Amino acid sequence: MNLRDLEIFHAVMTTGGAGRAAELLGTSQPTVSRAIAGLEKSAGFPLFQRVRGKLVPTREGQLFFAELSKSLLGLNRLRQVAARIREVGEGSLRIATLAAMGQIVVPRAVAQFLDQQPGVRVSLQVRTSSVVRDLVASGQVDLGLAADEIDTSGVHAGIFASPRAVCILPLSHPLARRKKIEAADLDRERLVALAPDDTVRKAIDRILEAAEVEPRIVVETPFSATVAALVAEGAGIGLMNPFSIDGDLRSRVAILPFEPAVHFRALILHPPGSVESRLTSAFRACLYAVRNSFVAH
């Protein structure tokens, strides 16, 4: 018994004759007759009686057809699932990201991705980098973005972006008219700083210490977006990730290069031992496109 013979038998039963079945399947009537004969031999009982040149189903043939219809229905469903997987992968995508990328970069990438794959459902979590790493390592998400201070054992990790830190100031601040901000400029200035365990914060602290500069730290926060909001409200000067700067912020603060250069570094993470799905690959392409648009500006 083979699938082709079963499909031919099903076509004969649904169309009412070998000639119509052959037309439906795009084959010849002798091919249909041979398939029916072969199927009857495999089954061990006649499927049709030949009455005045017509095929009349036997009782056994009718019972066999009823069971076959159920099986072919399941097969058609499998074909539909396969087609759907070819088109969009498994139908859902799970992403986790650190906040610095979760404000603008990842949402823009998700929007682009959904334009390309409108039938896909996306789960997006904005978490701390250590939690993102754990979610990826355990296979609870398909892709993650995290800061470089995480332990990368148990995940596949690569560099996603290394944006240079920028200094942002209230528009009314005297230093806002400068072309760049140097470490010495921050002496005794009110500073909105990143959290002490942030790798960029540690690098900035070393630079300030080497320059014998002591700013007045008024707020510490783990999120660049919070630094931006506080500076925009006049709380002080901030050093932050440029990937967290949106169009509205650009109209409310001065954004200047900081010397010497300090770079944030974001990692892109994948679960261990997994083959990247079509969906994940498509989303990753959107991520890099958005990243490149930031770099270009």
pLDDT in tens, 221-271: 988 989 999 999 999 999 999 998 887 888 899 999 999 999 999 999 999
Q: In terms of domains, do 7 and 50 share one?
A: yes
Indicate whether this model's pTM tops 0.75. Answer: no
Residue 219 lies in a domain: yes
Q: In terms of domains, do 204 and 249 share one?
A: yes
Candidates 180, 177, 207, 204; CA nearest to 192 is 204
- Of residues 181 and 273, more confidently modeled: 181
Q: In terms of domains, do 84 and 133 share one?
A: no
Q: In terms of domains, do 183 and 238 share one?
A: yes
Q: In terms of domains, do 188 and 255 share one?
A: yes
Going by C-beta distance under 8 Å and a sequence separation of 6 or more, which residues neighbour residue 250? none
Among the ranges given (63-67, 81-85, 91-95), the one the predictor scored with the smallest mean pLDDT: 81-85
Residue 217 lies in a domain: yes
Q: Which two tokens stand for residue 153?
A: 């054992």
Q: In terms of domains, do 40 and 123 share one?
A: no
For the chain, how many residues are written? 297
The CATH number linked to 170 is 3.40.190.10
The CATH number linked to 31 is 1.10.10.10
What pLDDT score does 85 carry? 56
Residue 161 lies in a domain: no
Encode burial over 202-238: b for 16+ CB neighbours within 10 A, e otherwise: ebbeebbeeeebebeeebebbbbbbbbbbbbeebbbb
Residue 136 lies in a domain: yes
Q: In terms of domains, do 170 and 191 share one?
A: yes
Residue 216 lies in a domain: yes
Q: In terms of domains, do 100 and 238 share one?
A: no
- Of residues 187 and 21, more confidently modeled: 187
Of the pLDDT bands very low, low, confident and very high (cuts 50, 70, 90), residue 71 is confident
What pLDDT score does 118 carry? 86
Last residue of a domain, one of 33, 55, 88: 88
Q: In terms of domains, do 136 and 277 share one?
A: yes
Q: How many CA atoms lie within 13 A of 292 on its CB side?
A: 6
Residue 71 lies in a domain: yes
Q: In terms of domains, do 80 and 123 share one?
A: no
What pLDDT score does 207 carry? 96
Residue 18 lies in a domain: yes
Of the pLDDT bands very low, low, confident and very high (cuts 50, 70, 90), residue 64 is confident
Last residue of a domain, one of 36, 59, 88: 88
Range of the domain at 278: 95-154+269-296
| Residue 283 pLDDT exceeds 90 | yes
What pLDDT score does 87 carry? 55
- Please tell me the distance from the alpha carbon of residue 41 to that of residue 22, in angstroms, as a whole number: 20
Total domain count for the chain? 3
Residue 56 lies in a domain: yes
Of the pLDDT bands very low, low, confident and very high (cuts 50, 70, 90), residue 23 is confident
Q: In terms of domains, do 218 and 280 share one?
A: no
Of the pLDDT bands very low, low, confident and very high (cuts 50, 70, 90), residue 81 is low
**What's the N-to-C CA distance of the chain in angstroms?**
64
Q: In terms of domains, do 136 and 283 share one?
A: yes
For 30, counting Cβ atoms within 10 Å of its Cβ (0-12 exposed, 13-18 middle, 19+ buried), the class is exposed
Last residue of a domain, one of 62, 88, 114: 88
